[in-house]
Structure 1
Amino acid sequence: MPYDASAGSAPHINLVDPGLYSDGDPFAQWRWLRDNDPVHRHAATDYPAFWALTRYEDIKAVFRDAETFSSAQGILLRPSGHGADPGGGRTLALTDPPRHRQLRGLVDEWFTLRSIRGIEAKMQEVAGSVVDLAVQRGECDFVEDIAARIPLYMICSMMGVPRADWERLFTLSRQAFGGGDAMTRRFAHLDIMGYFQSLSAAKAADPGDDLVSVLVTGRIDGEPLTQQEILLNCDNLFVGGAENTRIAAAGGMLAFIEHPQQWRLLTEDPGLLPTAVEEVLRWTSTPTHIMRTATRPVQIGDRHIDAGDLVTLWLPSANRDDTVFDDPDRFDVRRQPNRHLSLGFGEHFCVGSVLARVEIRLLYQELIDRSLDVEPAGDPVRLDSIVVNGLERLPVKLVPRSV
């Protein structure tokens, strides 16, 4: 429910409380901040103090200015005791120009529209097999049994992971990035890193036509990537390729369940799929925040930002800014224009944006072509995370579409 300005009192602002995202209403806080304090100084908690930006234009301006707002110190808030992000200055996501462009140049070709079209038939086959299994179950968890599998299988294929290992990585990814205790998540993530360490060694000895081989054989300014750079970029590609699409596709399905007239519009006119996918991306806004570090003193609005200050961009807020989007709290598969920031902007625009869009489109297309409706089979459970905005579980049943 959006914040009701007529209620008078300001909400308590605490953007680093995970419970706000699992059980609360972060949109109330974001709406109040957009209206009253769009460049908000957030006090230190277990996390260091930071600036919170909630308006679309401010966030877009920061994305655009990679020289002033650096990614190299990390792009996510970290508890103060955790130290620097180990990927800082080493991965595609955590580098600034010119290094960022050089790393991106190694993998860009794999994510172009032409390359994705070349594997679209394979993606459709994967989507079909995943939906087949879900239909056989009758009831399933849309997050784990459907939305998680399609992007994970595809990024595994692109990275040269043998098919026999896909289920192993699927299980580890669910342990590492789903619910559960912190220790289980940590050990599962370490297992994923260990897997890619072994795979990269194998690809170095016998390169193939895949992304891991690109990294182990790639050169920047004539120099190979270090072992740590290879491993961290493998992890970056795997997590980005598997997790963000999962969360968006599942969150989009919940939006359709909650707005059945929109699903009906889509089934009656599948030509709306491209705009529907954009609306799903805007509505779900899967990165809850992105962080930058100011490299020099700068003014944002009426606030003075010092060099070294952390600046956070709250993307779900930007994508509900009513100065940019008409009736932003309405889910509308026909929305045009739809200049959301869910996939970033500028230097760090998501390298996998085309892949994500096609995966989501093919999943919904598969359900439409089979004349299936998705009905709730229990209460959805949201992630208690300040990093990703989405669902941990969505119990559903797939049923023949009613006439």
Structure 2
Amino acid sequence: MATTAFLAEHLVDPEVHASGDPHALWSWMRANDPVSWQPPGELPGFWSLTRYEDIRAVYRDPHTFSSARGVLLRPARLGADPGGGMTLALTDPPRHKQLRALMADWFSTRAVRDLEDHIRAACRAVLARVAGQGECDAVHDIAGRLSMYVIGRIIGLPEKDHELLVRWTDEAFEAGVSLAAHQELMRYFIDLMDQRMAEPTDDLLSSLVTGTADGELLAEEEILFNLENLVGATENGRLALAGGLLAFLDHPDQWRRLQRDRRLMPAAIEEILRWTSSATHSMRTATETAVIRGRRIEKGDRVVLWIPSGNRDEDVFEDPFRFDIGRTPNRHLALASGEHFCIGSTLARAELRILLEQLLDEVGPVEPAGPVARLRSIAVGGPETLPVRIAARHGDAALPAEA
């Protein structure tokens, strides 16, 4: 691994993230070129940040590093992100704070606590569906289905339609396309939005339909983009759930450790989030000239934050390539930082905790059932498929078998 030019070619290759070793690239960059320019090609030129402190500083400075022009790398031929300036992810203060206020009550600690019985019931239903049936795919059949059941409930989808949401989002995620490009899903959201405009109920969609920002109702396009943003964000959640299960299958000693001492559960959840780092990158655009580690970032330059690299930074995490459910402190960046700290952070932790509790207490052993395929993507990372078998047994802890 000789030059940054080599990295420029390989770091944005989805195949490297699927079957190569992106952590080897990031490790080299942290040590040798932590703020490096990646020249334009199919993607526009951008600065790569790989050190924890630099990533955190950019996250916490929305004035200098804007989200409004997009937070993911896009081929230059596609132009700007169509949701720019309209969604929670693609706005800066003060608009960001106004949109966040419309949704925050649905993701607060109290709201998630009130939702726990539903999450637990959804988890039981998902696990009952796969237990004893032979092989299943933990990404789609467990993590994906659980994520969609929960976000569907929060948005306000009738329970009978949750499986539709599972199918449509699976189709979009597998095809690697935006949810907005899925016509059936968008038509469904439009119809549901029209229903809530006519008769609001007690759900997040009604909050978007009836709430205001800058004293005005949101445009219908803004509501749809924010729905897409909320549902799309669950891909990170399901990858964290599936990636956590994979981590325990790969490290059965840590599973046994959790079985012996449930007090480790909060630390185990944080370690899963750090270890999986399912959001591979987040992008910002400089609104003015800035200097990072002596490198001059010009106004208009794109700055890409490589989250898994920050979460393996040797200056911050002792033995960062060790999966350790007792790790503390663990101030990872998997849920971002600053203004854009994940609005669903409390919900994500609750889903992880409840799934682990169910696996420990209510099902039989979880065993690997085939090779794991990783996602071919530079936007999100984790298992694309995770074949497992779950025995239909109650009472004993579900110990993963040795991989």
The TM-score, its normalising length taken from structure 1, stands at 0.94
Residue of structure 1 in register with 2:149 after alignment = 153
Residue of structure 2 in register with 1:341 after alignment = 333
Selected match of 1:237 from 213, 216, 230: 230
Matched, 1:207 2:203: no
1:242-267: per-residue Cα shift (whole Å, max 9, x none)? Answer: 21110001011111111110111111
Q: CA deviation at 1:190?
A: 3.3
Matched, 1:391 2:353: no
1:201-238: per-residue Cα shift (whole Å, max 9, x none)? Answer: 11101111001111011112321001111110111111
Secondary structure of 2:73 counterpart: coil
Selected match of 2:217 from 216, 224, 244: 224
Give ranges in structure 1 of 5+ residues lacking alignment: 1-7
Task: State the Cα RMSD in Å.
Answer: 1.6
The separation in 1 between residues aligned to 2:365 and 2:320, in whole angstroms, is 26
The separation in 1 between residues aligned to 2:263 and 2:118, in whole angstroms, is 22
Residue of structure 2 in register with 1:248 after alignment = 240
1:286-342: per-residue Cα shift (whole Å, max 9, x none)? Answer: 110000000000000010000000000000000000100000000001110000000
The separation in 2 between residues aligned to 1:272 and 1:372, in whole angstroms, is 21
Selected match of 2:268 from 257, 271, 276: 276
The separation in 2 between residues aligned to 1:385 and 1:158, in whole angstroms, is 28
Matched, 1:69 2:65: yes
Matched, 1:351 2:343: yes
Residue of structure 2 in register with 1:190 after alignment = 183
Secondary structure of 1:320 counterpart: coil
Change (3 A) 1:120 1:187: closer
Selected match of 2:295 from 291, 303, 320: 303
Residue of structure 1 in register with 2:113 after alignment = 117
Selected match of 1:328 from 317, 320, 327: 320
CA contact under 8 A between 2:179 and 2:185: conserved in structure 1?
Answer: no
Identical aligned residues as a percent: 51
Corresponding letter in the other structure for 2:359 = L
Secondary structure of 2:390 counterpart: strand
The separation in 1 between residues aligned to 2:363 and 2:268, in whole angstroms, is 18
Secondary structure of 1:45 counterpart: coil
Corresponding letter in the other structure for 1:333 = I
Alignment of 1:84-95 (within 5 A): 84-95=80-91
Q: CA deviation at 1:165?
A: 1.1
Corresponding letter in the other structure for 1:234 = L
The separation in 2 between residues aligned to 1:228 and 1:333, in whole angstroms, is 43
Q: CA deviation at 1:198?
A: 1.4
Corresponding letter in the other structure for 2:68 = A
Give ranges in structure 2 of 5+ residues lacking alignment: none
Residue of structure 2 in register with 1:290 after alignment = 282
CA contact under 8 A between 1:296 and 1:308: conserved in structure 2?
Answer: yes
The separation in 2 between residues aligned to 1:191 and 1:41, in whole angstroms, is 40
1:127-184: per-residue Cα shift (whole Å, max 9, x none)? Answer: 0111111113132111111011111101001111111111111101001012x4x67x
Q: CA deviation at 1:271?
A: 2.1
CA contact under 8 A between 1:53 and 1:314: conserved in structure 2?
Answer: yes
Residue of structure 1 in register with 2:253 after alignment = 261
CA contact under 8 A between 1:172 and 1:188: conserved in structure 2?
Answer: no
Residue of structure 2 in register with 1:313 after alignment = 305
277-286 vs 231-240, which moves further: 231-240
Q: CA deviation at 1:194?
A: 2.2
Q: CA deviation at 1:81?
A: 0.4
The separation in 2 between residues aligned to 1:129 and 1:389, in whole angstroms, is 27
CA contact under 8 A between 1:20 and 1:26: conserved in structure 2?
Answer: yes
Change (3 A) 1:293 1:187: closer
Aligned residues: 392
Q: CA deviation at 1:191?
A: 2.6
1:4-53: per-residue Cα shift (whole Å, max 9, x none)? Answer: xxxx7458312211101111100000000000000010111210010000
